[in-house]
Amino acid sequence: MLVFRSVTTGLLGACLYFILQLPAQHEPPPLPQVASSINWQRSIPVTVIDVAHGVPAMTVPSLVELAPGERIAAVDDQEVGNDLTAGAVIHDRARDGGFIDLTIERSLDQGAFDSATATRRVLVLLH
């Protein structure tokens, strides 16, 4: 019994010694600074389309709604020539599952010789 008390007292003393050797933290670590120069108005808007399991791959291209004057410019960051090609690529990617990243362009007519484009992104999630 005397040996047990001696060992217990020694372990208690060792624990207290190591606890007292830890550096004291009086102030919390600094929080990361958020950049205040971010212009959220210029960010590209994103639309997410969540496709349920069991939806046929041939109906996935019809779920992407395009406004008048819009066209699909790229599928998974690979440019496509026209909407028919884009539909075929979307159909092929929909059979594989995962997700499809679409870039949609809209032409902004500013006159006879000037035309600018606005882009938006569409993320199609396939389950």
> CATH code at 99?
2.30.42
Check whether 27 has a pLDDT greater than 60: yes
What's the number of domains the chain is made of?
1
Asked whether residue 33 is domain-assigned, the answer is: no
Give pLDDT tens digits for 4-24: 889 999 999 999 998 888 877
Q: Would strands 115-126 and 78-79 be described as parallel, antiparallel, or unpaired?
A: unpaired
Asked whether residue 58 is domain-assigned, the answer is: yes
Structural domain for 75, as ranges: 44-126
Give pLDDT tens digits for 65-90: 888 888 999 999 899 988 889 989 99
Asked whether residue 116 is domain-assigned, the answer is: yes
Q: Which helix (H) or strand (E) holds 48?
A: strand 46-51
To the question of pTM greater than 0.85 for the whole model, the response is: no
State the pLDDT at residue 111. Answer: 56
Average pLDDT, the chain: 83
Asked whether residue 61 is domain-assigned, the answer is: yes
Check whether 35 has a pLDDT greater than 80: no
Asked whether residue 4 is domain-assigned, the answer is: no
Asked whether residue 118 is domain-assigned, the answer is: yes
For residue 41, what are the β-bridge partners? none
